[in-house]
């Protein structure tokens, strides 16, 4: 194995069924239902997935949901803004923990 992440592995995702078909089927059904058109459009859901893919830093998901976002009709501008939302939340999540730092600092210092 040359790298931990291999693009050719993505189409093999379904082989995860082999160890536990029952759990895979449940996951697969639920996954399909999650991304179906509902109160949110398929295009909006693909953009959320793209943003989350960046937040969890999953190369497979970034590959899959860049293509999915294009195939649902999103532009590069919309996809870039979605990534920025993920980055803002990640950055903001770090920064808001600064309040804990301030709390501890307040307790320990005069």
Partner 1 sequence: MTAFGEKLANANEQLKIINQPAGLPKFEEKFKQTGEDKLSARELEIFQVNIGKLCNQVCKHCHVDAGPDRSEIMTRETMKLCLDALSKSKIQIVDITGGAPEMNPNFKWFISELNKLNKHIMVRSNLTILIANGFKEYPGFLAENKVEIISSLPYYTASNTDRQRGEGVFDKSIRAIRTLNELGYGKENSGLVFNLVYNPIGAFLPPKQESLERDYKRELWNRFGLVFNNLFTITNLPISRFLDYLIESENYLSYMNRLISAFNPAAALNVMCRNTISVGWDGRLYDCDFNQMLELPISGNASKYIKDFDPNSLTNRLIVTGQHCYGCTAGAGSSCGGSTV
The residues that touch partner 1, with contacts defined as CB under 8 A, are 37, 41-43, 67, 70-73, 75-77
Q: Are 45 and 73 in contact (CB under 8 A)?
A: no
CB of 16 to partner 1, least distance (A): 18
Nearest-10 Cα torsion for 87, 90, 94, 99: 100
> Which lies closer to partner 1 via its Cβ, residue 72 or residue 90?
72
CB of 41 to partner 1, least distance (A): 6
CB of 51 to partner 1, least distance (A): 18
What the block records as the tokens of 38 is 């509902």
């Amino acid at each position: 194995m040359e790298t931990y992440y291999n693009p050719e592995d993505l189409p093999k995702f379904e082989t995860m069924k082999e160890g536990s078909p029952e759990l895979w089927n449940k996951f697969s059904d639920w996954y399909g239902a999650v991304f179906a058109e509902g109160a949110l459009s398929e295009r909006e859901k693909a953009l959320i997935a793209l943003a989350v893919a960046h937040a969890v830093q999953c190369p497979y998901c970034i590959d899959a949901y860049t293509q999915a976002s294009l195939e649902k009709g999103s532009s590069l501008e919309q996809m870039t803004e979605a990534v920025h939302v993920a980055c803002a939340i990640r950055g903001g999540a770090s920064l808001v923990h600064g309040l804990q730092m301030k709390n501890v600092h307040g307790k320990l210092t005069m």
